[in-house]
Chain A
């Protein structure tokens, strides 16, 4: 097995270009998905049966099916219908970038909503009762007590979700997007050297994960500093 370093060096610029797209997709999806997850999580714990079950169906669908199926369904499946192609959404749905972003957002939104829900339900009842006892309104209670505490509880689990999203983004390559994995596959198609190129792409993913984990550790330390617990 002759290892070919030069092909890796030659491909680096393109791989880096792909990495930017990966980061962009992951970052935006996490942001939008995070925003989406709040109302979703609240629906999941709401007293209303309708709201609860609607959210349940949504999260069940996105967590129970593979991301690949969701992507293909959205990208290729929807395009089958004339109604979609003639709608005002088409200029967006037409683009693989937007399709990927929408699907990633919906997907991470579902997972994050579940994490948040678990965290909300884990907030110590004592705190909530105390707040109610002093007459806090429901929205104030939510904003000042429940959510901040829930987020602290959710921090470790959420870091997993971020990494999973980073890894899931590799699937964007299956709908023509040239993210890191897409670039790698395109280069391999030209050079016939899969092992070297995948090795390079793998290293970049590991680097990204490592940087992220370090950064997250700092964040946890910052947010938990009042508890004097060393984040592991």
Chain B
């Protein structure tokens, strides 16, 4: 009898099955190819795939909640979801409001302009520069001397205005920009200038002090990096490693 109990308990602990808990993951859903909404209305993309993989590792049930970019951090703080996995860069400013997990990919900024527009990236004075509001791209744009800056609610609207010529240059994260340039609408545009490498790391945000969740995420992240799951997801979207 005792032995049976011992075996039973061991099996329980070994499989790591406690009650499957629910984690709500906040994402934007308007940032292809990292997070977007497909034809059937489901969230999809790199961020979503990583999120699902992490949840599988943590034996948790994940629910994705979409949220407008402007409200993504306020939403976390208010308790609408427990994590943000939406290509959120780890910045000092943001770390005042939230805690971050280890990074799950790296990013840099790039400028996109029409092919042949001969815009000198160092001389952007008097040019109109666009970026999505509340991003590090927007912070960077604000620092450009003399440029007229336009902020957009969504990345998509920024692309629309770039395509129609309302803005001369778009500052954006390199990877989504790369994705856009491959698409039909991006045909005729190119990266200009150097990669603005600010050592930007993308992490998963949790509420300040939510250390338990943060450690679980870090542990799961290390695991999927080690066993090849991360690389598989990476390869689905980019021909190079983005870690």
Interface residues of A (CB under 8 A from B): 76, 79-80, 85, 94-96, 174, 176, 185-186, 188-190, 192, 194
Contact = CB atoms under 8 A, between A and B. Distances in A.
B231 to A, nearest CB: 34
A186 B131 CA distance: 12
B70 A85 contact: no
B225 interface: no
Given A79-B160, A94-B165, A176-B152, A194 B133 contact: no
Contacts of B163: 79
Q: Could you tell me the dominant secondary structure of chain B's interface residues?
A: helix
B73 A192 contact: yes
A85 B134 contact: no
| Interface size class, chain B | 20 to 34
Contact of B97 (A174, A188, A192): A192
Interface string B150-165: 1111000100110111
Given A186-B151, A189-B133, A189-B134, A79 B70 contact: no
A149 to B, nearest CB: 46
Given A76-B160, A85-B165, A188 B70 contact: yes
Nearest to A76: B160
A194 B152 contact: no
Interface of B: 70-71, 73-74, 77, 93, 97, 133-134, 138, 150-153, 157, 160-161, 163-166
A190 B138 CA distance: 10
Contacts of A192: 73-74, 77, 97
Top 9 nearest A-B pairs (CB, nearest first) are A189-B134, A79-B164, A176-B150, A189-B133, A192-B97, A192-B73, A76-B160, A194-B74, A94-B166
Contacts of B153: 174
Nearest to A79: B164
A85 B164 contact: yes
A82 to B, nearest CB: 10
B204 to A, nearest CB: 17
Nearest to B130: A176
Contacts of B150: 96, 176
Given A176-B152, A190-B134, A79 B166 contact: yes
Given A79-B164, A176-B150, A185-B70, 19 more contacts: A79-B161, A80-B164, A94-B165, A96-B150, A174-B153, A176-B152, A176-B161, A185-B133, A186-B151, A188-B70, A188-B74, A189-B70, A189-B138, A190-B93, A190-B134, A192-B73, A192-B77, A192-B97, A194-B74
